[in-house]
Amino acid sequence: MKAFEEIDVHNMTKVQAQAAIDSMLRRNKGEMCRLTVIHGFHGGTVLRDFVRTHYKKDPRVKRIEIGLNQGDTTLIIREL
């Protein structure tokens, strides 16, 4: 696993997206610093809102970064 990982959850349900993201977080053995979740937003904001609210409370996530691209959210696992 690399320090900067990316996962694309386009066209997934909230349950599928959560399972995929949680799987990535579980497999992390301390190498991953950031996980960028590509959720899109043109087809709606359900996944974006879910990722941002659900993982804001997750103890494995230190903080969330929201960039200029509305279609992705970066979960900060640990600082560099």
Domains of the chain and CATH, by start: 4-76 (3.30.1370.110)
- Between CA 77 and CA 59 the distance in angstroms is 9
| Residue 80 clears pLDDT 90, i.e. is over it | no
- Residue 53: per-residue pLDDT: 96
The mean per-residue pLDDT over the stretch 32-52 comes to 92
Kindly report the length of the chain: 80
Number of H helices, E strands in the chain: 2, 4
Dist CA 70 CA 80 (whole Å): 24
Can you tell me the mean pLDDT for 38-63? 93
> Please, where are the H alpha helices in the chain?
14-27, 46-54
